[in-house]
Amino acid sequence: METVSYHKGKWRADIQVDELASGKFQGLVLLLHEEGPQSEQVVHRTVDVFDSPQGAIEEAKVLANRMLGEL
């Protein structure tokens, strides 16, 4: 699956999906400052889990846009 990325200034939010042991899917947002060290990357997980990867991706997109909007 290709990584979806959103940008705001020097910030980037990468969207990913994690398949849980239960067989459900959870969206992930990797938030990073493009000029900062890799150690400053922060992973945020969506609250909800989904039966399909598509649901997790959509929820992660919402979370990424909200986080970048608050910067």
State the number of CA atoms in the 13 A half-sphere of 59 facing the CB.
19
Where do the DSSP E strands lie in the chain? 4-8, 11-19, 25-33, 42-50
Is residue 46 within 8 A of residue 61, CB to CB? The reply is: no
Amino acid at 27: G
State the number of CA atoms in the 13 A half-sphere of 67 facing the CB.
25
Q: pTM of this prediction?
A: 0.85
User: What local confidence, expressed as pLDDT, does residue 1 receive?
Assistant: 59
Res. 69 pLDDT band, cuts 50 70 90: very high
pLDDT tens per residue across span 28-63: 999 998 777 666 788 999 999 999 999 999 999 999
